[in-house]
Amino acid sequence: MNPAWPVMLVDGDITLRPIRLRDQRAWREVNRRNRDWLRPWEATIPPPPPGGPVAQRPTYRQMVRHLRGEANAGRILPFVIEYQGRLVGQLTVAGITWGSMCSGHVGYWVDREVAGRGVMPTAVALAVDHCFRTVGLHRVEICIRPENGPSRRVVDKLGFREEGLRPRYLHIDGAWRDHLVYVLTAEEVPEGLLRRWRRVRPGATGNDQKMK
């Protein structure tokens, strides 16, 4: 059992909680409404080698069971994002590696209806703080297509460093796509990423600005 999961992370109207089988109806409804908006950024299955089997996308239930099994093994942290009690997206910390690396990478998507309200930066900040403070990771990466302006604004707001380009890094929307790599290490946010985000996000109060 993974001691860092399941866990619920909350900041105001925004909650990260473990994905569940009974989320299927809400998850499908949000994903369906956002299909055209999400398609350019979603991972796809590359064509098989000559004579190889054709891989199929998993069903929702298969996806959740796989994620939960990997979470219990300590290799992944699968969350859904709730805003004001409603499921609005998904965030996963995957590729968790220990030893001399202690690293993981974050992937996410969010309902277009709540984009621009600070939901995604807050969700990422909650996840990163959990990774550094509870899980014990040292480094967190987020890899984003250069064309994905909304996602790049999330990491810019949070102060992630851009480390470079990974050519043809992931199979996205039917082809191998370049990705920019954004990184934070635990030493860069000793006060916590959520606390830093609270100081700079739109609508921050004077007390927020004074927090150190």
DSSP 79-90: EEEEETTEEEEE
Tens digit of each residue's pLDDT (9 = 90 or more) over 33-79: 999 999 999 999 888 777 777 778 899 999 999 999 999 999 999 99
- For strand 103-110 and strand 139-144, is the pairing parallel, antiparallel, or unpaired? parallel
Tens digit of each residue's pLDDT (9 = 90 or more) over 2-29: 777 789 999 999 999 999 999 999 999 9
Confidence of residue 204 (pLDDT cuts 50, 70, 90): low
Q: In the block, which residue shows the tokens 């967190």?
A: 140
147 or 54, greater pLDDT: 147
Exposure b/e, 173-207, CB count within 10 A at least 16 = b? eeeebebbbbbbebeebeeebbebbbeeeeeeeee
Prediction pTM value? 0.92
